A and B are shown apart, each in its own frame.
Chain A
């Protein structure tokens, strides 16, 4: 008989709970999962996220063409069906055809294929941003909150200073720095060269031929951890005076053990929620960077660079901007739904807030 079963027996004075009325013995995470699965919007978001991940992984199999492969006879092709849905002046300027279902860009590359491959940029950026923010923020915030005093004071002043940076401007500057200093480094032995080699490995791992993904991860990671650090610190401050922490310390647990075993499991919920809700932000940062030409290197497709190329000729070839924008919006919706659902599931008291 388990402890829980014994407890149930004691509470019910030994009379067994009538059949069909027992409450399933469960833990916090299973409970949260059940609540999450009852939330239709969150489930929908989750399904879309999974589909997007599959689309990114199997892009080679799904996409009808390779992202860099252009057909010079089909430059600027607008699909025939679109001219029927959106009658206007497209017929006047554009080449109407039906070779590519979503049309082709200025080099005759299939827009659908580029959108599919673009998921290999957007999703990793979202997850890498979240992971970096989580790891740095959690470690930083834990140390600051747990040790308190002078350490805390100095560490939090550093966070304050980081917050005073205009984030977007700093990322732009960092990207320019990474791309030119690291991206062109061909001399073995230097730190820049090492970064460039790691970058090439990352690109290859993501199934892209070049693209400079590591630099985007770094740019976003450097500017993304402060919020999590503050959150983790606040949570730990409120926890560390609790009796069970005192008890753990009393029986001689080390600081590391107390943080990892006793504190982190108690604060991870709200932090995971915040990180998930931040993913759309990381994704749109990359989109913006690629939009201004400081994101992925061509010909690697990013929804941002596609929107940028497309918005130059929005009147004649609306398909070039419309479909990547749609892909981006659907992705953002999915992550927001999932994040909202996760928050409600992990902490029902927070339902409907913020």
Chain B
């Protein structure tokens, strides 16, 4: 198991290396520079700025500087490998690390809240549907599920604002910080995923409760509640766990949309404006960071597997 984890972690190195090269090339291939303005700055100033940030260097040197393999114009190793994501060209008083520190927690909180809602609603709905198969409850939860899959956050967001903020006045229209401001965005983002989880839980639960070991558990006189929680649910959760990794990734990137709708000061706004502003370090840093999240989330899921199902073994 330990060897497996180490191997997976080592595999991250070429993956992230590749992603950084592709992202760097793509970001720099977008025409224009970070100091292009509608009213152009004097050429000398642009030249000085480019020199200061090392943008006059050949592209490969800029890349190695960014990664931290070579000394930057200031003569020091200050790249991603040293934990420094560089300066932000458009908000010049702050580094990319500052931006991460201020705005990443917001996005992460939103993503996690949505995930909590997805699991917290999806699993019970799925279990209920499976245990009461072909009854009203089954149809109701599956109707909720198909609604959740079909109505994307971009529709749910404005709809929530219209109903719960403007008509019923339960929650504030937008913003972030107070718990009441977090309810609508988290639900808007998490509902779709909860639908996917509900459908998957139902399917896998239906399969598991027909297994022999469930009959055995009942036969030895366990209470129904015990059978469901200890034996059925634990095994039914395995397929659900497999999609939690990709789902978390989707939710984390989904925060971008949600943040736009509810005016939440997360990473979304920074990433989108940084692309149009050619703010390369912000673009690169965000993509790399999210890629690390993604790879780690998938690893955690694979490890969780092994705990849930002892039959799964990694060598």
Alpha-carbon separation in the docked complex, A352 to B146 (Å)? 12
Q: Which residue of B lies closest to A320 (CB)?
A: B158
Any A CB within 8 A of the CB of B166 = yes
**B26 and A169 contact, CB distance less than 8 A:** no
How many residues does chain A have at the interface if contact means C-beta atoms less than 8 Å apart?
48
Any A CB within 8 A of the CB of B19 = yes
Which B residues are CB-close (under 8 A) to A184? 31
Given the interface contacts A172-B275, A180-B30, does A336 sit within 8 Å of B155 by beta carbon? no
Any A CB within 8 A of the CB of B276 = yes
Which B residues are CB-close (under 8 A) to A180? 30-32
**A168 and B253 contact, CB distance less than 8 A:** yes
Identify which of A161, A336, A353 contacts B150 (C-beta below 8 A).
Answer: A336
Any B CB within 8 A of the CB of A202 = no
How many residues does chain B have at the interface if contact means C-beta atoms less than 8 Å apart?
54
Q: Which residue of A lies closest to B291 (CB)?
A: A164
1/0 per residue, CB under 8 A from A, across B108-143: the answer is: 000000000000000000000000000000000000
**A311 and B26 contact, CB distance less than 8 A:** no
| A277 CB to nearest B CB, Å | 9
Any A CB within 8 A of the CB of B260 = yes
Given the interface contacts A332-B150, A352-B206, does A291 sit within 8 Å of B260 by beta carbon? yes
Any A CB within 8 A of the CB of B4 = no
Identify which of A173, A181, A284, A352 contacts B275 (C-beta below 8 A).
Answer: A173
Given the interface contacts A168-B253, A170-B287, A173-B275, does A304 sit within 8 Å of B154 by beta carbon? yes
**A354 and B199 contact, CB distance less than 8 A:** yes
Q: Could you list some 26 contacts between A and B, CB below 8 A?
A: A160-B11, A160-B15, A161-B14, A161-B18, A165-B287, A166-B291, A168-B254, A168-B256, A169-B256, A172-B271, A180-B31, A181-B30, A287-B152, A288-B256, A291-B257, A292-B256, A292-B260, A307-B158, A311-B261, A314-B166, A321-B158, A322-B159, A329-B151, A332-B150, A336-B150, A352-B202
Given A328-B155, A333-B150, 6 other A-B residues pairs in contact with their CB atoms under 8 A: A167-B253, A168-B256, A169-B271, A287-B152, A288-B256, A315-B166
Binding site for B on A (CB under 8 A): 86, 88, 160-161, 163-170, 172-174, 176-177, 180-181, 184, 280, 284, 287-288, 291-292, 294, 304, 307, 310-311, 314-315, 318, 321-322, 325-326, 328-329, 332-333, 336-337, 340, 352-354
